[in-house]
Chain A
């Protein structure tokens, strides 16, 4: 069941209303029931994999607590088992592909027709994080299986995160916040913003992006159009994933659970490293806590630090998808950061020579713009079907055809003028909201402070615009959330 399905619009009110009338101490049972019900719509096979994974992690955590001397072996066995599940469903075909390439065709490129269970990558990371927390003694293993099952399968998060930590969730399951009118309203506003981002902005930009990315590059889509597609994809994936996250967080909120933020104005970052502190925060922090730091982090010298960064981002790339394009995408982000570190002394010197103030507005704008461009060009590998296609699109974007920005050419790639401009308006709105957010101002909360008439006007306008101008229904084939596939 998708957040953008009619079924969900029926499912959610039922889940929320029953949740409201159930005594607080038993709510976790109801939340587990609706979570499993929600997940069961993904198919019985996926549900079986989920339950097997949950049982293994639940059992392993209790065993680690009980057999402390063998905790490491239990931890490794359970992680291998769960990563094995992930490997089989997500990486087996890719593995054979690599074998085929490495053996120059001696080993056949075998293809298994395996459908990856919904949200597998997300809940496996959540499980692995939980196991490591228990192993480290940061968290006492949960003995109540129902609560543990809810932690893994909590329906707002299971499809595409945020990848929560046990420490934040279990205490809330024990004592969920009372859902008063303000919390309810706050959650609804956040959901509406998420739906706006997904249906009005992301899906609209996706039409243009798809047309350009899926058209044979030899057919001559060059210059401004290619660059526009790259820029719009940069916002598409943000609006798509942030949209999903806002809906997930909003839904959790009206169920009485507070979930961590996943984005913090990422395109206002002034370096790639900062970008990763703002983008998909739950994954970035997971990789930092459970991979980068155990690898030695920045404690073992510059070379090792650079290597660790590269490893983390290659893993991040492969986590997103089993393909060379994702590998290159991750690698690029790693290399960006390594080069950034290496060039730091040179950049410092230039700053001194040209007397550029680090905190000056112009310098911050340049840094933000450069970071945006670097991130945008890396996204091309994330979106393209192959490395070759990605390189061609990047090459095509470098042709000098600025007149195409104004001569109507941009309206020939799946979006009419009105639709294109609406997409542009959405992008501007995202930037404005993020700029406020960057200054610590949450627009949603500001709206909630206003008088009834203004609040309602904004809310009703948001609903009408999302429902009317959203890309949904026949003829559009609105896709599911991009991150759901990971």
Chain B
């Protein structure tokens, strides 16, 4: 009997030991994307520091930057957007998040409202295999981090129809056990809570500039979607859930370069919001972004577009809500720190960026003063995307009406913009560099100098006879020149 008890105890201990080791292995091996995105969410939710939740798809991930919202308005928010998230996935994202925090406002983006299939893996209703694969794969980003409980089980049951797939979401070790080849230090650090984190409160910024823009037509009339879609039903459920819990809801349609179907979806979203009596911000209808400079690709905004969109939402929140400005509150030091980190990263990236489109676009955020000079005959003047970009950041069409030379001086410190083309001069431009005079002289010679130091020609280029573009970046406060780069334009490329 004693021996039998001993064996039984050994067996139990062995099983427990194996279970602990496998649980540890599953934690180490789990893909960290989801944890990376939400690690801060759990900490901040525990401190009850999240006032606004942003919900939606990758459009939201790229369009709303909580670091900017905090910097500009002092509102604390978390970007819960998920890549490829349909509104049913967004609904369950909200339900998961509400277990940990009750925000004052939920801002939900209605992109993909027209999607009308119930399950993300319903290949019969949605013939677009890529879209389905993306939705399912990216659902792991939304789901993996949440602990296995009834809400998660309900979510998986509601979103997935294939039983094997369901199992993969409930017990993700099935999917991730083969990551043993790709483990990094971070995988092990996560076991003790020292994993890498998204430092933008769930947002992700992109930095390219989409130059192949084709604008789509507007709908023929104020069209609505012909029937109630699954997307509409879940938008309704999101609004109802928030209303039930006393959470304010703002429905948005974040800006991008929409197709006709998106414009119709945006109109329909407005009607749904109206029906529920909640506010609606359709940024497709507003000049929030410049689609020639603020898109990373057709559907997603770059960091500059995100600044503008976040600023617009912040403006709406400040006008229509009584959210608290937490800036200066010591308890919110972490927000301050990450927000500052973000702006520092933008500064670094601006100087390191080699792509002229992206660089000029980043410069438009006003973290530096800069001078852009394009020589007479430069291909800039025949490159429509570059012309449109410069027009956008200068705020005037001058670039489109000249074949050069052209100069643009942007000084955020003084809040001044100076432009000149052809034989125009600039006199007494107030900048952090000093009071500048500009004077074109001949093809390869022009003058730009501080009136107090006429010997120093900022645009002197004897060592760069072949380059037709100069970009001079300086500290907007001290006037220290940080970078002076020369580019050659060649068929839309700038090296």
Contacts and interface: CB of A to CB of B under 8 A. Distances in A.
B22 A464 contact: yes
B17 interface: yes
B181 A181 contact: no
A446 B178 CA distance: 31
Contacts of B9: none
Nearest to A181: B7
Interface in B134-180: 164, 167-168, 174-175, 177-178, 180
Nearest to A421: B181
30 contacts: A6-B167, A418-B180, A418-B181, A419-B181, A452-B10, A456-B17, A460-B18, A463-B22, A464-B21, A464-B22, A464-B25, A467-B22, A467-B25, A467-B177, A468-B25, A468-B29, A468-B177, A468-B178, A468-B180, A469-B177, A469-B178, A469-B180, A472-B174, A472-B177, A473-B168, A473-B177, A474-B168, A474-B174, A475-B175, A475-B178
A452 B22 CA distance: 20
A456 B10 CA distance: 11
A470 interface: yes
B14 interface: yes
Contacts of B175: 473-475
A452 B7 CA distance: 12
A165 to B, nearest CB: 34
Q: A459, A469, A472, A473: which has the most chain B beta carbons within 10 Å?
A: A473
| Chain A, interface residues (CB within 8 Å), range | 20 to 34
A416 B181 contact: yes
Interface of A: 6, 181, 416, 418-419, 452, 456, 459-460, 463-464, 467-476
Contacts, number: 45
Contacts of A473: 168, 174-175, 177-178
Contacts of B14: 456, 459
A476 B178 contact: yes
A456 B177 CA distance: 22
Contacts of A468: 25, 29, 177-178, 180
Interface in B431-480: none
A463 B164 CA distance: 23
A452 B9 CA distance: 14
A471 B175 CA distance: 11
A295 to B, nearest CB: 49
B179 to A, nearest CB: 9
Interface string B8-46: 001000100110011001000100000000000000000
Q: B25, B164, B167, B180: which has the most chain A beta carbons within 10 Å?
A: B180
Contacts of B21: 460, 464
Given A6-B167, A474-B168, 5 more contacts: A460-B17, A460-B18, A464-B21, A468-B25, A469-B177
A464 B164 CA distance: 22
Interface of B: 7, 10, 14, 17-18, 21-22, 25, 29, 164, 167-168, 174-175, 177-178, 180-181
A373 B437 CA distance: 85
Contacts of A6: 167
B207 to A, nearest CB: 31
A349 to B, nearest CB: 54
Given A416-B181, A419-B181, A468-B180, A474 B164 contact: yes
B482 to A, nearest CB: 43
B166 to A, nearest CB: 12
Contacts of A456: 14, 17
A468 B167 CA distance: 17
B168 A470 contact: no
A274 B130 CA distance: 53
A301 B21 CA distance: 63
Contacts of B25: 464, 467-468
Contacts of B168: 473-474
A63 to B, nearest CB: 48
B133 to A, nearest CB: 12
A418 B22 CA distance: 21
Contacts of B17: 456, 460
Nearest to B168: A474
A476 B178 CA distance: 10
A424 to B, nearest CB: 14
Nearest to B3: A181
Nearest to B13: A456
A470 B177 contact: yes
Contacts of A475: 175, 178
Contacts of A476: 178
A7 B338 CA distance: 48
Nearest to B176: A473
Q: Which 7 A-B pairs have the closest CB atoms?
A: A418-B181, A473-B174, A468-B177, A181-B7, A468-B180, A468-B25, A469-B180
Nearest to A476: B178
A459 B18 CA distance: 10
Nearest to A471: B178
Nearest to B6: A181
B63 to A, nearest CB: 31
B384 to A, nearest CB: 43
Contacts of A452: 10
A364 B178 CA distance: 40
A249 B175 CA distance: 30
Nearest to B4: A181
B188 to A, nearest CB: 14
Contacts of B18: 460, 463
Nearest to B7: A181
Contacts of B181: 416, 418-419
A464 B174 CA distance: 14
B430 to A, nearest CB: 60
Nearest to B11: A181
A464 B21 CA distance: 8
Contacts of B164: 474
Nearest to A470: B177
A6 B174 CA distance: 11
A340 B403 CA distance: 89
A476 B179 CA distance: 13
B334 to A, nearest CB: 36
A456 B174 CA distance: 24
A464 B29 CA distance: 12
A54 B202 CA distance: 64
A419 B177 CA distance: 13
A189 B178 CA distance: 23
Contacts of A416: 181
Contacts of B177: 467-470, 472-473
A473 B180 CA distance: 14
A422 to B, nearest CB: 9
Contacts of B7: 181
Contacts of A470: 177
A464 B22 CA distance: 7
A408 B129 CA distance: 33
Contacts of A471: 178
A469 B182 CA distance: 12
Nearest to A180: B7
Q: A460, A467, A468: which has the most chain B beta carbons within 10 Å?
A: A468
A181 B7 CA distance: 8
Nearest to B28: A468
A456 B167 CA distance: 30
Contacts of A460: 17-18, 21
Nearest to B24: A464
A473 B168 CA distance: 9
Nearest to B164: A474
Contacts of B29: 468
Contacts of B22: 463-464, 467
A10 to B, nearest CB: 13
Contacts of B180: 418, 468-469
A171 to B, nearest CB: 28
Nearest to A461: B21
Contacts of A181: 7
A425 B250 CA distance: 58
A394 B181 CA distance: 32
Nearest to B165: A474
Contacts of B10: 452
